[in-house]
Structure 1
C-alpha cells in the first residue's frame, strides 16, 4: 500500500472476522474440543494437525509449523498480497477501507491511483499480440518463433506479441501519463518515443494475472538482446518471476519449481510438457524470489548453463537461499552441458530425458561442499582450514534447526573440527550460573512463546521484572514489543498481536517461535507462564550475582551493590 492503514482499523477488522468461518469456507474444518481441526492445506498429511482457534483468531499446524491470522491465511492460501487480503476481509466484514496514512519519507506520487497503469499495460499487451498477427514487418518475428519450435497455441497462452520498428507505434490517443508511468514510452526533451521497437514481446504478469511489464527480444542488431521494462510502481524485478502466474494456474501447489534463465526457456519447457518453470527478470536470484517460491512449493531446482556465468548464477542463488533453508525445504542444482540451454536440450533429448536430469540434480549440501572443495586439498591442514573458514561463513546464515545441525556435522566430517562455536554468537553472551555453566535458554523461550500465544498473560508481569526482561539481548526487544502492544489493548488476541509484529524487526523471531507450536492446554497456560517467569527470574538473579561477585574480586562494591549482594545471597554478610 502507498501508506499504512490505522492500527485500530486492522485490529477491528481481525476482531470482526470469524477465522473459523473464513477457513472453513476453503478448508473444511471439524470441531475438536474448543478448537477446529483439518488436514493442513500447506503440506501433505494423512492425520489432521491443522488447528484453528476462534477465541485466539489464530491457526497453527503442528506438522509443518504454518501459523497466522485471517490476513496471513489469505496471503498464503490464496496468494493474495497484504493489501488484497485486507480488502477481501473488509468486504466480508462489510466495512469500508479508511484512507491510508502516508508512510514517512514516501514519495507522494506513490499514492497515485495505479489502475490506469495496469489498464494501459493490458491494452499494450493486446496491441502487441495484434501486431504480431497483422503487421507486415512481423514476418521475421513469426519465422524466429517457428524456428525455435513454438506453436501458435503456446504463443497465445503466454501472450507473445510484436513491437513494430519505428519510434511512435503505440496509438497516439492513448493517455500519456500512464504510458510514461508504465515505462512503455520514454519522455525526453519534451517529446516521447516507444521503448520497445522491432522486438518480440513477452508480457510479464504478476500472481493475479495482471500485466506489470514486458520483456522484448530484438530481431535486429540492437543491444541489449533482451530489454525489460524499467522498475515502476507496479513492476519490481527483484520480487517478480516470469511464468509464475501461468505455472500456478496449471498447478496451484506444485511439487517443485524449476528456476531457469530466460523467457524462451520457460515457454519451450511448457510446450514440451514441463509446466513448472519460472525465470528471473534479468536479475540474479534474490532472497525475495526464493521466499516467494517457498510459499508455493517445498522444492526449488535451479537450472543454469554449465559455463562460468551459469556457475556464478547458481552460487548466487545458493547464497540467496541460505537464510530460508530449514527442514522440510529443499533446493537442488542442475547444470546443463556446455553450449546447451533448457530450450535446446529438451528439444534435442525430449521430456523424459530432461525430467531424468532434474531427478539427478545435486542437493544443496552436495553442491555447497563440492564447490568449496573444488580447488582444495583436504589431505592438508591448510586445505581443511580453508574449507572450515569458507563453509562456516555460509552455514552461519542458515536458520537454527535440524538442517543446520546436519550441515555442521557434514562439515565436521570433512575437516575434523568438531562443533565450532559460531563467531557471530559467542557462548559467553548467554546467561551463566555463578559456577560458569551455561544456562538452558528454554525458560526464556517458553516465556516468550506463551506470551505470543496468550498476550493477556503480560498482566502477570510485575513492573520490577518487566524492566529486567526487556534488557535481555536476544529476547528483550521482542518482549518489549509485546508489552508495548498489550499496554495499548485491553483484550489483545494472538491474531491481533501477530499482525502488530508482522513488519517489525522482531517479527521474524516471533514467527520462528510460533512455528514451533505450543502443546500446553489452555487451562495450563497461566500456571506454566508463572513457572517460566519464576525460572527466568532465577536466571536473572544468578546472572546478577555472578556479575557482583566478579566485580568484588577486582574492585570495591558500592554500598548499594553490597546491599544487593547481601539480598541475593540470602541475607548473609
Structure 2
C-alpha cells in the first residue's frame, strides 16, 4: 500500500535535512542553506547543496528529500527508509488496512476531480460565456501568462454546468460534493453549485496540487469572495494561497510577504515579488506561520495603514509570540493609507512596494506600538495596566532568554513613552513644571555644588544598586520585576541590567562568580568588574555585606531611583497581582513584593532616605551599616 501523502509530508516536515546529511558529510553554512562535498561521489570541491526541504549535487546530479537521502546513503528500500525516519521523528507508520487503502484511493480520486474541475473552469474563461470574467481580469492588469500561471477560470453563470461538464469524464455529483465543489440539498433532491457566476482562483498545496477553489462574484452580490469548505484535502487554517509558487520564489531569494487577498498575491507575483502568499479569509494561524518559517526565518506581514490594519497586525503579532525562537521571527510592513498591494504596484510600480518592504520593522520594534495603541496612560492605574499587559505578552514566548529580551525592550519603550522628563532644578523626583511636580511634596533644592549634578547622583545610585545585584544575585527572584522597571539613565547600565535578567531567566544557580563569568562571556567584563571596583560604593554593595543589609540597601537605592509617583504605581500593581494570583506560590511572591514596596514608599515619604546631592551623601547613608 502506498503511504498517505499527508503522512509523508509530516515526516519530511519533522526531519530537518541538514542534520540528517551531516551524518554522512561535513556541511558549512552558505547563506540560508548548507554546502559540502557530495557523499555519493568523490570530490574535493564542494558542489553538494542542502536546502530547507531537498538536496542537490551539481556534480553528479543526486537530488531528493530526506527519504531519498536515507535510501541513497544507506542502500535501503523505501519502506525501510520511512520506518527509520518515522521512528526518529516519533511518528507511527500507517498500517495497510482496508480503511487506509480506501482513504488513499479517495484522496487520489479527489485530487483527480479537483484537477478536472480546474481544467473545466480555465477552459470556460476563454469561451464566449467567460468574456466578462476575462475582461475583468484584464482590467485588473493581469497578463495572459499570469492568468495561465495561476490557473484562473470562470465558474459559468448557469446551474449545474460543472457537473454537466465533468459527467463525460465519469465524475459523479457525489464526488463533486466530497471535493467541496457542490453541496447536497437538505431535502436530498439534488445538488447546488458552490461556485456560481464567479471568477475562479485555484488553491494549491505546497506541492502544487489543487485542493480547493476560491471565487469572486462579478457584480454586486454577496459575499464578494468565497472559499471552498473543509474537505479531506483542504483545511483553511493549514493552507496559504500562492504557497506553491512562493516556495520557488523564496528559494531564489525573493522576500516572503504575507498580504490579504488573492488579487494582492497575483499582482505582486506579476510585479516580480515571487514569494507573496495570503491566508484564506482568516487571521494568520499557527499552522500557517509554521509554513512561512519553512520558507524563511523572518517573513514580512503586510498590513493596511488604517485602524483595521493595525488591529490585524496586533492579532498576528500576539499569535506569533508563543511560536518565536531565536531562529525565527517576523517583520511588519504598513501600506500607505488607502492602498493595498494590488493598487500600489498597479498605479505606482514595483518600486513603491519595494519601499514598503524596506520600511518593514522587526517584531520587537513594532510590538510596543501595537500593544499600546488606543490605551490611555494618564493615570497610575492606566499605566500599571499597560505595563502588566506588556509583561504578560512577553511571557508568552517559550524561550526564557528571548522572553526576557522582549520584556526589557517593551518596558524600555514604556518608560521612555510614559514617564515625564525629570526636571533639573527641583532635586530628585522633580517634574517639569515645578519642584516635586503636581501633588507631590516639594523637595528643597540642595546647596549648589558645581561638581555634582542630578545626573551624576542618579548614576551613582544606579551603579550602587547594580553592584549589590552583582555581588548578591540570590536576591534577584524578589527584585526581578522591580529591576526590570527601572530607568537606569545610562545605556551601558541598562544593557548590563538586561544581561543580568536574561541570565536569571535561563535558570542558572544564583552565584555571583557564575554571573560574572556569564557577563564576561557576553563582552561586559570591563563594565561589570569596573563597577564592582569603584572605591566610592557603599558598604552594602560589597561582597562581604550581610544578606539583610544588602537587600535593604537594594530597596533603598531602588526607592530613590524610582521616585514616589512610580512607587505608588508599583504598589497598586502589586496589590492587584496579589489579589488575582492563581496559585499560592504566585500569591506569596506578590505579597512579598507588595510589603516591600509599601515599606519603601513609606520610608521615602518620611524622608528617612534623604535625597542628597551626590556620592558623598549616598556613602554617608550606608556607611558602617549597609542600609538606610
Structure 1 length normalisation: TM-score? 0.59
Counterpart for residue 158 of structure 1: 150
Q: CA RMSD in A?
A: 4.3
SS in 2 for 1:115: helix
Residues matched between the structures, number: 388
Q: CA 1:419/1:95 → structure 2, altered by over 3 Å: closer, same or farther? A: same
Counterpart for residue 149 of structure 1: 141
Counterpart for residue 470 of structure 2: none
Instruction: Note if contact 1:168-1:193 (Cα within 8 Å) is conserved in structure 2.
Output: yes
Equivalent residues in 2 for 1:190-269 (5 A)? 190-252=189-251, 254=253, 256-269=255-268
Say which structure, 1 or 2, has more relative contact order (CA 8 Å, 6+ apart).
1
Counterpart for residue 25 of structure 2: 36
Between the aligned partners of 1:194 and 1:309, the Cα distance in structure 2 is 33
| Structure 1 position 386, deviation (Å) | 1.7
Between the aligned partners of 1:153 and 1:20, the Cα distance in structure 2 is 36
SS in 2 for 1:166: coil
Counterpart for residue 100 of structure 1: 94
Query: Structure 2: which 5+ residue stretches go unaligned?
Result: 41-49, 57-64, 84-92, 416-481, 486-502, 515-628
CA offset digits 1:163-212 (Å, max 9, x no partner) = 10111112223322432211112222141232211111111111111111
Counterpart for residue 121 of structure 1: 114
Which range moves more in the overlay, 403-412 or 159-168?
A: 403-412
CA offset digits 1:407-462 (Å, max 9, x no partner) = 12123324564348xxxxxx9999999xx999x9xxxxxxxxxxxxxxxxxxxxxx
Q: CA 1:255/1:175 → structure 2, altered by over 3 Å: closer, same or farther? A: closer
| Structure 1 position 302, deviation (Å) | 1.1
Larger Rg: 2
Between the aligned partners of 2:321 and 2:272, the Cα distance in structure 1 is 30
Instruction: Note if contact 2:401-2:505 (Cα within 8 Å) is conserved in structure 1.
Output: no
Between the aligned partners of 1:351 and 1:236, the Cα distance in structure 2 is 32
Between the aligned partners of 1:260 and 1:282, the Cα distance in structure 2 is 11
CA offset digits 1:83-125 (Å, max 9, x no partner) = x96698679722548982499xx99975653111001111111
Counterpart for residue 353 of structure 1: 352
Counterpart for residue 384 of structure 1: 383
Instruction: Note if contact 1:385-1:415 (Cα within 8 Å) is conserved in structure 2.
Output: no
Between the aligned partners of 1:376 and 1:202, the Cα distance in structure 2 is 40
Counterpart for residue 179 of structure 1: 176
SS in 1 for 2:251: coil
SS in 2 for 1:117: helix
Q: Does 1:395 align with 2:408?
A: no
Q: Does 1:133 align with 2:133?
A: no
Q: CA 1:78/1:196 → structure 2, altered by over 3 Å: closer, same or farther? A: farther
SS in 2 for 1:200: strand
Instruction: Note if contact 2:204-2:210 (Cα within 8 Å) is conserved in structure 1.
Output: yes
Instruction: Note if contact 1:255-1:299 (Cα within 8 Å) is conserved in structure 2.
Output: no
Query: Structure 1: which 5+ residue stretches go unaligned?
Result: 24-28, 55-72, 421-426, 441-573
| Structure 1 position 41, deviation (Å) | 6.6
Instruction: Note if contact 2:303-2:309 (Cα within 8 Å) is conserved in structure 1.
Output: yes
Q: CA 1:399/1:42 → structure 2, altered by over 3 Å: closer, same or farther? A: farther
Equivalent residues in 2 for 1:209-358 (5 A)? 209-252=208-251, 254=253, 256-358=255-357
| Structure 1 position 22, deviation (Å) | 7.8
Which range moves more in the overlay, 378-387 or 342-351?
A: 378-387
Between the aligned partners of 1:286 and 1:152, the Cα distance in structure 2 is 33
Between the aligned partners of 1:219 and 1:87, the Cα distance in structure 2 is 47
| Structure 1 position 20, deviation (Å) | 10
Which range moves more in the overlay, 173-182 or 371-380?
A: 371-380
Instruction: Note if contact 2:301-2:333 (Cα within 8 Å) is conserved in structure 1.
Output: yes
Equivalent residues in 2 for 1:457-472 (5 A)? none
| Structure 1 position 43, deviation (Å) | 2.4
Q: CA 1:405/1:239 → structure 2, altered by over 3 Å: closer, same or farther? A: same
Counterpart for residue 364 of structure 2: 365
Instruction: Note if contact 1:200-1:216 (Cα within 8 Å) is conserved in structure 2.
Output: yes
Structure 2 length normalisation: TM-score? 0.54
Between the aligned partners of 1:311 and 1:167, the Cα distance in structure 2 is 41
SS in 1 for 2:120: helix
Counterpart for residue 430 of structure 2: none
Between the aligned partners of 1:358 and 1:391, the Cα distance in structure 2 is 27
Q: CA 1:42/1:398 → structure 2, altered by over 3 Å: closer, same or farther? A: farther
Q: CA 1:89/1:359 → structure 2, altered by over 3 Å: closer, same or farther? A: same
SS in 2 for 1:295: helix
Instruction: Note if contact 1:255-1:298 (Cα within 8 Å) is conserved in structure 2.
Output: no
Counterpart for residue 545 of structure 1: none
| Structure 1 position 249, deviation (Å) | 2.5
Instruction: Note if contact 1:378-1:415 (Cα within 8 Å) is conserved in structure 2.
Output: no
Q: CA 1:249/1:431 → structure 2, altered by over 3 Å: closer, same or farther? A: closer
